[in-house]
Amino acid sequence: MNKFSIAKSILLAGSVVLMGGVASAAELNIYTTREPGLIQPLLDSFKNSTGITVNTVFLKDGLAERVVSEGESSPADILMAVDAGNLVDLVEKGVTQPVTSSVLTETIPAQLRDPKGNWFALSMRARVLYAAKDLDLASFNYEDLADPKWKGKICIRSGQHPYNTALFADYIAHHGAEETEKWLAGVKANLARKATGGDRDGAKDILGGICDIAVANSYYVGLMRSGKGGEEQVAWGNAIKVILPTFKDGGTQVNISGAAVAKHAPNKEEAIKLLEYLVSDDAQKIYAEANYEYPVKAGAAADPIIASLGKLEIDPTPLTEVVSHRKQASELVDKVGFDN
């Protein structure tokens, strides 16, 4: 069985059929942990402008393992994932390859891409502060979450959730492990309830008077206020104001969705062409509006709901450094009993 016969079998297993079993030069294949529906308008637009058809295989889990098992016969051209940690994991498991593109390096801030060109951010979400509308608060530092003035007033989801371990890892990058442990203990002491639930529960609990502030992701504001999260959540979204916190010596912590070119990509040239398209003005606008995320390209339009939150000053800490501290951040969460 040759390489392309194997590719046909693999893609059939992933519910994608390549006509004749061979991916032509006018096709490329994405393996993605992100719901394909979020990016389908972009892929359709890309096909209309280039003639290149993009096939998608959705893998909720086991992306790296799938590509490893396929080996050199893998038909995957692009690997797409949410969370910088997942992208770094793909590199560490040897399923990506470095690419050189002036379009990508000139468009995407250095801290939001792999320094060796193995992966690139395509959109961002910020770890922000939800606050009661009547609260006299216009700015905030992450460090202030441990201030005793907030005792019994903070809501947050589990400290072990990736959204929070990323924030805590960034805190380690700024202040070191010892100070982060003290800070986490201080935040725990200020909780209004157990660290649990989801980010949108923070807004719900502010409306319910359980807490005054909550730590959550920016894109949920768009989902709530737009009604896409359900009619009940419109009230949650409208009950809060959103503040873009910063580290005292940095900016706002962000995480990303991004992509890499697969190690054995049969259509590497087309794959790079798609990544370059995804950071164009038009594509960034579509990408950002699909899930209320921030574009990575400076000057590209965000959804009006997200744009109304204010100017985002991205923390300069490279995401590769943040990811390197995640294991330690997780250990500190357990050490201080954050979720207990």
Amino acid at 37: G
DSSP 173-242: HHHHHHHHHHHHHHHHHTBSS-S-S-HHHHHHHHHTTS-SEEEEETHHHHHHHHTTT-HHHHHHHHTEEE
Torsion of CA 262, 257, 248, 202, to 10 degrees: -150
Residue 287 assigned to a binding site? no
- Cβ neighbours around 106 below 10 Å, total: 9
Kindly report the CA angle at 310 between 42 and 130, in degrees rounded to 5? 95
Distance of CA 103 to the CA centre of its chain: 21
DSSP state of 139: -
CA-to-CA dists, residue 217 to 63, 134, 237, angstroms:
24, 21, 12
DSSP 237-306: HHTEEEE--B-TTS-B-EEEEEEEEETT-TTHHHHHHHHHHHTSHHHHHHHHHHTTPEESSTTPPPPHHH
Torsion of CA 273, 276, 282, 288, to 10 degrees: 120
- Please tell me the distance from the alpha carbon of residue 167 to that of residue 243, in angstroms, as a whole number: 16
Residue 220 assigned to a binding site? yes
Q: Which residues are annotated as a binding site for Fe cation?
A: 219-220
Q: Which residues are annotated as a binding site?
A: 219-220
